[in-house]
Amino acid sequence: MSDKIKFEIEFVIQSSPQMLYQYLATPSGLSEWFADNVNSRGEKFTFIWDGAEEEAKLLKRKSDEFVRFAWDEAEDDSFFEMKIIVDEITKDVSLFITDFAEDDEIEESKMLWTNQVSDLKQVLGSS
């Protein structure tokens, strides 16, 4: 098995950090844009797409700042993190995604995140 490579992408989001965080850290928020349905029991989150389930553990979170998950099936130290960055001067809000993928799947993963975040922006009314 080849090692996964860490990648990061940033999206400008017109939203308050508080509102955006609700869509990143709660099952109801995540099911609006990230998966068809999301359930949680404690730190364990179940993401459902087209009837297929994947489980992830909530590793860390800081209110209105970031959430970090690790997929249960990952056999390495990979994770995915969604961090909210507010520009000190302009007050612009960005969503900073950190994820891992195989070398030949990075572009595909970035495209997937771009599509997912596009859905998030629609839900938030941010263009």
CA distance 126 to 31: 18
CATH code where residue 33 lies: 3.30.530.20
Mean pLDDT, range 105-118, rounded to an integer: 96
Identify the pLDDT of residue 24: 97
Q: What is the pTM of this model?
A: 0.93
**Order of strands, edge to edge, in the sheet holding 52-62?**
5-13, 93-101, 80-86, 66-71, 52-62, 44-49, 37-41
pLDDT greater than 70 at residue 2: no
Number of domains the chain is built from: 1
With beta carbons less than 8 A apart as the criterion, state whether 120 and 33 touch. yes
**Domain that residue 115 falls in:** 5-124
Identify the pLDDT of residue 98: 98
- At 44-101, the pLDDT tens digits run 999 999 989 999 999 999 999 999 999 998 888 999 999 999 999 999 999 999 999 9
Identify the pLDDT of residue 1: 47
